Structure 1
């Protein structure tokens, strides 16, 4: 059999590009050939964040681009705009691109297309050309199962025909899964055209024979009893690749961490798109001040000025360090880190688990709420931060929970045990490693 040649196509956001890039690097170590398709806009961002991108990823990974159909003035933070522009523009251009790639690789044509969610149109293109397809789901397997259940949830009267919950209540999707609040389904808060897009997407991704999940069987066993398509191949962050693909990282914070005592630093980060309002930022800043412990806080650029300028008279931050974007995996694995105040996005959750660091859970949107349930109620490696009657996580709540976590030896021990169990999946002969080998053999 020949060497598989994968065409990888991520939806152009950090939470999709990074895990697919990690998968490409793992596939390359198995001798596979990779062509990685970015939007032109994202490719330019990646080259800025990682100068010499082509050279740094090695000869087996080549980069190609297509336009996303948006102009320089368009807001690429608006998922609806990006999704529908790409769906209108790219499907017509992909067959020619595949033809050009194959012309350069006469003896090693593309054998398999792997997409992340929102890019399933590429599986249709591949299907017509006789190319195998698979999906990498960038969130938890539980959230994949939830999205796959939209028709059933409508049929059972839990959702209306537009995918909105008919009443607020807790349901259990399948036995042994955490309870879910109907208001916290992954698509809640999105408008109905996007919800219909997700339902359609779940049908189209059935053209992908495998639904690859960046998770491990021990983390969400119930999800894998649902469908034989689900294939856990994670944690993908167990590779050497540390760099975020799209944003420039401030690595000076690692030197600062080197000067902090072991297990003393509170690490605070809300992901690439987490937005917190002004009053909540203020409470968080004052809570960190009150704790009088060293902290490292990642504040994306739009919030950065607000933290430093809006109430500099109240917020001293003298024991802490604030950065715009950080090498999160390296930080979480640093011996100075004591706990992770996180929005519980799936990539961050996996990185926290793989570093054995206890969590303080502060979910903001979508699947982050069910991830919090796993962290606090199932795996028991973190504590939840609760909101007060004004809908804020107060400075008192922050200080109370941090102190509680610092003193909880049980959570620390469980965090280290879960790290060991999860990383065992990606050692030689581990379950995820074996699944990945089967997938590569299938793709030849």
Structure 2
């Protein structure tokens, strides 16, 4: 075990959206449980919402080497809407990026980070050329299959299969995506693939960030081998260092199972207040109505997947091993950096 001041320091920076923050908080807790020093960097408004509607401050207070830090995204309340995605990206690039560079160079975030775990939706936020000694791990909150399909979008545009034109048959098969032959349909692709102009900023952002993720030191996916093994194998040909450590909520629950305190129980990282007025019975009935025709088929599939997921996070399982490997690799990076200094 490292001595005080001799602990690898991991900077984690999620994209400012519920699912992204939630997944990366779980990863932060898993790494904190291993004894690593963690700085969780949040956009100001996201941190305010989290502290208002969740228990993150008390939950992470037990980790002496953990800290929350915040940074601005430059948006005002007036232009903070879901429809302003392109504006958010521009402001993150023009305002947040130079601020982060300044924080890294000044030591404001603490000891020099051993690595940065960065949300794959904004790889541009860290200038790898300006910070060549800090390896970037790209965390993708989408499935490995989705990410793999996204990486083929430039080729599909060049081939004339994209963008999807007007009201064409959404069940049309997409050709040319290795490992997804006779499986991938137009309807399976994200909405930005339906934009008429291939140069649209949203489409270009999705493409460029996917390509940038493949250039990262490592890729992290919230998935597991038994669920997406064949596609993960395809991805490893383009980015050899991949950690499939999902389902993160199950992996964290498994690691916390031995905890005697209340912090061993489930935690919710909500950005908004939960509406308790909706009865659980009402929600259950709505789900039953939707599943009525395929209930047995869906339940069988869900139960089988749940068993595979449980096996993956147990000791010796694929996700358990990949998390241990990632922690070991971070410690190795730290030792190598210290040797380079001395």
| TM-score using structure 1 length | 0.61
> Which one scores higher on RCO, CA 8 angstroms, separation ≥ 6?
2
Shift of 1:69: 0.9
Equivalent position of 2:229 in the other structure: 221
Equivalent position of 2:260 in the other structure: none
Equivalent position of 1:404 in the other structure: 293
Matched pairs, number:
298
Equivalent position of 2:99 in the other structure: 93
Alignment pair present for 1:69 and 2:74: yes
- Partners of 2:68 and 2:181 lie apart in 1 by 39
Alignment check: 8 A CA contact 2:224 2:319 kept = yes
Alignment check: 8 A CA contact 1:124 1:207 kept = no
Alignment check: 8 A CA contact 2:121 2:140 kept = no
In structure 2, the residue corresponding to 1:188 is in which secondary structure?
helix
Equivalent position of 2:263 in the other structure: none
Higher fraction of helix: 2
Equivalent position of 2:334 in the other structure: none
Alignment pair present for 1:110 and 2:118: no
Alignment check: 8 A CA contact 1:150 1:199 kept = yes
Shift of 1:25: 1.0
Shift of 1:251: 5.6
Structure 1 residues 340 and 418: CA distance shift in structure 2, 3 A: farther
Alignment check: 8 A CA contact 1:17 1:245 kept = no
Equivalent position of 1:131 in the other structure: 134
Deviations 1:31-65 (A, max 9, x none): 121111111111111111126x3332233331111
Alignment pair present for 1:295 and 2:295: no
Shifted more, 115-124 versus 182-191: the winner is 182-191
Selected match of 1:242 from 264, 267, 270: 267
Structure 1 residues 41 and 434: CA distance shift in structure 2, 3 A: same
Selected match of 1:4 from 5, 8, 30: 8
Shift of 1:181: 2.3
Shift of 1:441: 1.9
Equivalent position of 1:198 in the other structure: 206
| TM-score using structure 2 length | 0.78
Equivalent position of 1:345 in the other structure: none
Alignment check: 8 A CA contact 1:68 1:85 kept = yes
Equivalent position of 1:182 in the other structure: 186
Deviations 1:401-427 (A, max 9, x none): 543345x2x543442222111121111
- Partners of 1:37 and 1:340 lie apart in 2 by 38
- Partners of 1:145 and 1:90 lie apart in 2 by 28
Give unmatched runs, 5+ long, in structure 1.
Answer: 258-293, 297-336, 342-359, 361-398
Give unmatched runs, 5+ long, in structure 2.
Answer: 254-265, 332-342
Deviations 1:324-381 (A, max 9, x none): xxxxxxxxxxxxx6x884xxxxxxxxxxxxxxxxxx8xxxxxxxxxxxxxxxxxxxxx
- Partners of 2:243 and 2:202 lie apart in 1 by 26
Selected match of 1:32 from 30, 36, 57: 36
Structure 1 residues 126 and 46: CA distance shift in structure 2, 3 A: farther
